[in-house]
Amino acid sequence: MKKSKLHLCILTSILISSGHAFADEMIRNGQFNGIDGWWTAGGQVSTDDNQACMKITNPGSDPWSVILGHGGVGLAEGETYTISFNAYADVNTQVKTLIQHEGPPYTHYFINDTKISTEKQKFTFEFTQDKPSDAGGEFQFQMGAQKPATVCISDMSIQGKPYVEVVENSPIRHNQLGFLPQADKFIFIASDSKEPLRWTLSNAEGINVDMGRTEPFGTNKASGEGLHRINLSHYKSEMSGLTVAIEDDKGVPFDISSQIYNRLKYDALSYFYQNRSGIEIKPEFVQRDDLARPAGHPSDVVTCFDKQDSWGNDWPGCDFTIDTTGGWYDAGDHGKYVVNSGISTWTLLNLYERGLWLDNAQTPFNSGNVTIPEQGNGVNPLLSEARWNIEFMLAMQIPEGKRVYAPIGNQSSDQSLKLTEIDASNLAFHKIADEAWTGMPLPPHMDTQKRYVGQPSTAATLNLAAIGAQCARIWKEIDPEFSKQCLNAAEKAWQAAEKHPEIYAYDNFNGSGPYGDFELADEIYWAASELFITTGKDSYKQVVVDSPLYLDTPKANLEADGDIFWQYTAPLGTISLAVVESKLDKKEVEKARKAIIETSDNYVSQLANEGYHIPYTVEEYPWGSNSNLVNRGIFLIYANDFTGDTKYIKAAANAMDYVLGANPMNISYITGHGTNAAQNPHHRFWAKAADENYPAPAPGALIGGPNSISFSDPVAAPLKGNCIGQTCYRDNINAWTLNEITINWNAPLVWVASALDEGKLN
């Protein structure tokens, strides 16, 4: 296609800043002012005195068991490069110094077995790239398979001509599925032109049905690009195969249809079945046969962590085992976490409760079209899916009379943990996961790592109390025995959390994330709210109304942490109080609803600030930014439920427009949905990008998306300082800070896709 002035170039690999002092220096932060730009595996790094020291206590059996790595090393064929650094160790040792392709087949471009002594030495290597150019090169010190040591590196440099790949990105962006009939219908065009541009709209037969001129917006602060808009909101009849063209550029086809979210809501819910632990994933319940797999961890019976952690702290284990079989894998790895399970399960159950308690909301997934093993059991499939994880959460509760070791209080650092033996009756273990991070790819049924529960935590225990209470009221008539089990566990968990209010999570073994949280007032308020709604007891009500977070909702400020997520759960309690019938005074219920409406008004007001017309204005885009947009949709749809004003549900649809393609990357962040959908989520089974023998991702997974705060993976690292907000993204399986998928991101996708599919914009 002929290039036009509208085409934008998006760098898909390292971007070189024109203001860099050394234009050909490819190591960012070679002086180790912190760890930014680097990533690690298998060891603990400290960065003092402009050096990185890797403490290796568990060297593993392979060189790559311990790595200090740096991505974004683009090598041009025929060019010469110089690697230099200083290094020493506390014992004589050896590391592999190498540059390789960042993913399979891990082609080596340079490799050297480097002997490091206790005396600091300067190392210099020169090589010529004799293989085809590669923008995806990665530098590594591989330090595993040696005796334990501490290796220190300083003055790291790679100099030479960087190789940069450039691809063209169409300037015409919109929701690639299309629009609901009564929704806003904006088409966005990237252009720096100050003058309106001529556009045409064609139908499926290629006949022009409308034309006009764009409305210049100016610079979109969140992406740094000039934008224009076309407003097609006056089209309300159902049509398919529409396309917009400007000059020589033609957008992808889209529909106006009441059905655009119908398939998506089922695929989004299927994500949970396909990421179940402890059960075979059968071909009759998934979208493609290659997505089926044997059961992962079919007997997940484990004990407490009983080894030395990466900082030298000795964890003594415990004298019992628990059966944690079942539940959902948290993300693309094999860990299961009570805290992230909590908000994810609550979101699915809340969608059901919305249909149960609000007259203007439909009961979700009531058509019988959900394909899971429990279909046909007479229970709403949303509840059947949630129960799979609730039973796992119940299993994570420590039996009566059992004693474990735990760190008490917010201690100064992981290195100085002081462990105390406690009566842990009815506390919840924080997580279960592999002893060490597994490689990529690795489906869960092939995982041979030893698995452990970590420690109990107060946060996990309060999550169990909240979900147990929610479960008890929902299953009261459906399954009275299960309801009683849930309530008994919830109340005992509450009592245990009161007894042990300061047990915080630490990263005590490196096959999992810490999910640490030192502010628990929100979990206390949330759990008390759910228990009060279910039991009506004054003791819980008093905690609710006395909480400093009573009727709390997000303030929609510019900070990236201003949205609900696993570390900020107070609004979950407020939503439940606003929706579910309880003994709370009706005036207080109205206050809760008013708080939700006020938050939603703030979200709606942000539409005007954003070139892509989204209810999301923040200073930086955080890890999982797409989930924040979808979570805001929950508040906006509730505001519509409470007021009847369609401006709120339209704003929720605007957020989905962005997620489905109306963004500067011109990509749908939901796998399998959209003409140009993300294809490479960070997942150990859906790993075709890493190995052709593995499946491409299932449709319906929400990608985390742009992240301008954390650059800790090898793909994201080169973007630091070279991207703006919405452009800090690459569709790459190794980019876990950008391309991760998780249960707590897909749960709000299920919620919003279902509500829009059955809502007032059809």
Mean pLDDT of the chain: 92
> What pLDDT band is residue 557 in, cutting at 50, 70 and 90?
low
Least confident of 44-53, 177-186, 746-755: 44-53
Q: Is the per-residue pLDDT at 590 higher than 90?
A: yes
Q: Is the per-residue pLDDT at 5 higher than 50?
A: no
Q: Which residues contact 331 (CB under 8 A, 6 or more apart)?
A: 682, 683, 740, 741, 742, 743
Work out the average pLDDT over 250-266: 97
> What pLDDT band is residue 414 in, cutting at 50, 70 and 90?
low
Give the chain's length. Answer: 762
- Collapsed DSSP state (helix, strand, coil) of residue 166: strand
In this prediction, residue 166 carries a pLDDT of 66
Q: Is the per-residue pLDDT at 484 higher than 50?
A: yes
Work out the average pLDDT over 607-614: 97
Work out the average pLDDT over 436-452: 90
pLDDT in tens, 230-244: 999 999 999 999 999
CA angle in degrees (0–180, nearest 5) for 716-611-731: 25
Q: How many CB atoms lie under 10 A from the CB of residue 384?
A: 18
In this prediction, residue 7 carries a pLDDT of 35
DSSP conformation class of 281: B
Q: Is the per-residue pLDDT at 4 higher than 50?
A: no
Q: Is the per-residue pLDDT at 9 higher than 60?
A: no
Type and span of the H or E element at 761: none
> What pLDDT band is residue 164 in, cutting at 50, 70 and 90?
confident
Rounded Cα distance, 734 and 743, in Å: 19
Q: Are 620 and 710 in contact (CB under 8 A)?
A: no
Q: Helices 570-579 and 625-643, interaxial angle, to 10°?
A: 20
172-256 has which fold?
A: Immunoglobulin-like (2.60.40)
Q: Are 394 and 472 in contact (CB under 8 A)?
A: no
In this prediction, residue 372 carries a pLDDT of 97
> What pLDDT band is residue 17 in, cutting at 50, 70 and 90?
very low
In this prediction, residue 589 carries a pLDDT of 98
Q: Are 41 and 713 in contact (CB under 8 A)?
A: no
Q: Is the per-residue pLDDT at 22 higher than 80?
A: no
- Collapsed DSSP state (helix, strand, coil) of residue 713: coil
pLDDT in tens, 67-79: 999 988 999 999 9
Q: Which residues contact 111 (CB under 8 A, 6 or more apart)?
A: 96, 97, 98, 99, 100
CATH architecture of 25-160: Sandwich (2.60)
Rounded Cα distance, 416 and 409, in Å: 12
Going from N- to C-terminal start, the domains of the chain cover 25-160, 172-256, 297-540
pLDDT in tens, 494-538: 999 999 999 999 877 777 888 999 999 999 999 999 999 999 999
Positions marked active-site: 731, 740
In this prediction, residue 24 carries a pLDDT of 83
Q: Which residues contact 246 (CB under 8 A, 6 or more apart)?
A: 6, 171, 172, 189, 197, 198, 199, 200, 214
Q: CA-CA distances (angstroms) from residue 104 to 18, 290, 433, 688?
A: 31, 20, 25, 10
Domain 297-540, CATH among 1.50.10.10, 3.40.50.1820, 1.10.3720.10, 3.40.50.720: 1.50.10.10
Rounded Cα distance, 112 and 313, in Å: 34
In this prediction, residue 12 carries a pLDDT of 35
By percentage, how much of the chain surpasses pLDDT 90?
80
> What pLDDT band is residue 2 in, cutting at 50, 70 and 90?
very low
Q: Is the per-residue pLDDT at 1 higher than 90?
A: no
β 149-159/51-56 pair status: antiparallel
pLDDT in tens, 344-388: 999 999 999 999 999 999 999 998 899 999 998 999 999 999 999
